[in-house]
Amino acid sequence: MSSIETSPNDTEATKVSIGNAEKDNERKQDEKRQKKQQQEESGSEHNFSVAWKGARAGLSLLIAILIGGACVSVLEDGWSFEDGCFFCLTVISTVGYGGNPPKSTGGKAFTVVLAIGMVPPAAFFLNDIANACI
């Protein structure tokens, strides 16, 4: 059998390499700690931005319902502004109550445009609310 001989230089090189690896591990752990601390500190800012995003989406939906209600009440004979807003709310929320559908061609066309244009933003709004609550 042959024995492996090591020189003093090899032993010192191994010690240096182990020391460098330990320093790298410590540096990585420090970076992880700092990153975690930054995430914890910015958590309140994130919640505020999600809440603000949800508030903007909600305000946009409210404006769409009011404008849509005004449009439907003009297009449909005998509809009040409140009836138009209720109808827009049922279309945008996809409830589809069906109590008083539009009878005119303009009212039906407006309903199609309203549904295509406002149902996806309403879904994003509900998603933002869910994210803010979780």
CA distance 123 to 12: 64
pLDDT of 61 over the 60 cut: yes
Q: At what angle do helices 105-133 and 43-75 cross, to 10 degrees?
A: 170
Per-residue model confidence (pLDDT) at position 16: 58
What is the pTM assigned to this prediction? Answer: 0.55
- List C-alpha distances in Å: 123 to 27, 47, 78, 83, 130: 44, 19, 31, 23, 11
Structure tokens at 27: 């540096």
Q: How far is CA 77 from the centre of its chain?
A: 40
pLDDT of 42 over the 80 cut: no
